[in-house]
Structures are given as structure tokens and as C-alpha cells.
Amino acid sequence: MTELKDKFCEDIVAACYMVDRRQILRPSAFLDLAQQMAVFGADRLDFGDDTLGHFGCTWVLARQHVRFERPLRHKERGRMLTWHKGLQGLFFIRDYQLLGADGEPCVNSTSSWVVMNVEERRVVRPDFLREVVSLDPQSPDSAIAEPAAKVGLPRESELSLIGTRRVLFSDVDYNQHANNVKYTVWAMDALPEELVNEKLLKELTINFNKEARPGETVELWHALDPDGAHIVEGRVEGHQVFIERLIFD
């Protein structure tokens, strides 16, 4: 990872395992890249998981908003940038940009993170970090100006069960729960094939509300927003694990 004046960046290439049948970057591949950039970006600012581990805590992604501006093509080289935007209440805000070979944005994204006590599995106030590192924004820039929004079900929406997913070995990360990227993978897999294969995902907003642990089964429920957005909600034993709003074009 390279340090710019006020951002961290890494050069990437859209490898064969990162693209879909149309040879364009999968949304989940961008989310994987963003997650990795967040880890290294926090490490470089000395408030990564190693630092939080001394306090019995870890980072957990709470919300993310992504706008796909144009596809990144197979073998196309790009540059991924990330920067810390400061603390807003309980949320640490981190933005990302993926630039294409032409230097123009292919993806813009903002994310909101919370600190979780590992033993108690609950969100804690991050005030203790003020003693460790400056919480001022790394950069005044914004990939997306507003923080990721809270997603809700449309009023009087008709929910339909479109799939289930048991949390398996390949879904679980070192925090001992389903990795955040997997929820978007499950949602895209459960939506109609003609939609995900023929339309481009232009925007997604996802909220992570509860852990999905190994061996649990996540029910995937679907509703259409009046503006045509697809809402996918994941539930475990009636409790909402995640809810995601996806807009296709």
C-alpha cells in the first residue's frame, strides 16, 4: 500500500477470478478490495485490529453505500484509494474510490464502522481510542458526501422468501461470523438470474445489524421498493441480520 499526502492507495488489476461472465468486476470483488484496504488503512493510522485487540475489541462494518460509476473491465488496471473521514457518533467513517486506467472513478463508496467487544459481542463506545490516535479526518475529500443511510423495508411491502443460506466454512472470517461481503454475494445469487446477468448494479446500500454465526441458516426475503429498487433482508430465527438495497440499470 502506498501513502499519498492524505490517502492510502494500491494499484490493482481486474483478474479473472474478480470478474463475472461479462468480464466486468463483480460488486463483491470491489467489496473484498474495500475490506482489505480498510484493514491496512487502519493499521497505517495505528488503530487497526492489533491495536484494538489490546482493549479486547475489533472493528465491525455497520453500513456501506456504493455507487458503481462504470465497469472495470477484465485485465484493466486501476487504483484503489481509501481514507479515514473521522468519528461521527459511534461510527468511524471511511471512504473509498476505485479509479480505472483512465484515472476516472469506476466506484465511489463510503462506509461506517463500529467497535465491538469480542468477548461480549456487543458494540462499545470508542472513546478509549482518543488516548491512542488522533480521530481527526485523514482527508477532507468525500467519495460520497453523506454517510451510508439506514435501510428500511418499504411500507406495505410484500415480502417473499427467495432463498436460504447456511453459514459454511467459506463464509466465516477471523471474527468468527459470516464475513460482510458474503451478504451481498448471497443477495445477488438469490435474485433472478435475468436481473443480475443482464442488468448492471448501479448502487447498493447495506446495513449489518446482527452477526450470522457458523452453522446458522439465514433466510433471504425480498421486496420491491416503489422506485424499483430491490430490497433483500437476511433473517436468522426471525431476527434481522442484514438488509440491503440494490439498484440495477
Q: What are the tens digits of pLDDT across the range 64-108?
A: 999 999 999 999 999 999 999 998 888 999 999 999 999 999 999
Dihedral Cα 118, 123, 124, 125, nearest 10 deg = 140
Residues 8 and 122 occupy one common structural domain: yes
Residue 144 lies in a domain: no
Residue 147 lies in a domain: no
- Round the average pLDDT of the chain to a whole number and report it: 94
CATH number at residue 170: 3.10.129.10
Residue 138 lies in a domain: no
Q: What are the tens digits of pLDDT across the range 106-115?
A: 999 999 999 9
Residues 9 and 122 occupy one common structural domain: yes
Question: How many Cβ atoms are within 10 Å of 203's Cβ, its own excluded?
Answer: 16
Residues 14 and 103 occupy one common structural domain: yes
Residues 23 and 90 occupy one common structural domain: yes
Supply the pTM of this predicted model.
0.94
Phi, psi values for residue 33, rounded to 5°: -60, -40
Residues 115 and 214 occupy one common structural domain: no
Q: What's the domain range around 12?
A: 2-131
Confidence at 124, pLDDT banded by 50, 70, 90: confident
Alpha carbon distance 127, 237 (integer Å): 33
Which amino acid, residue 44? R
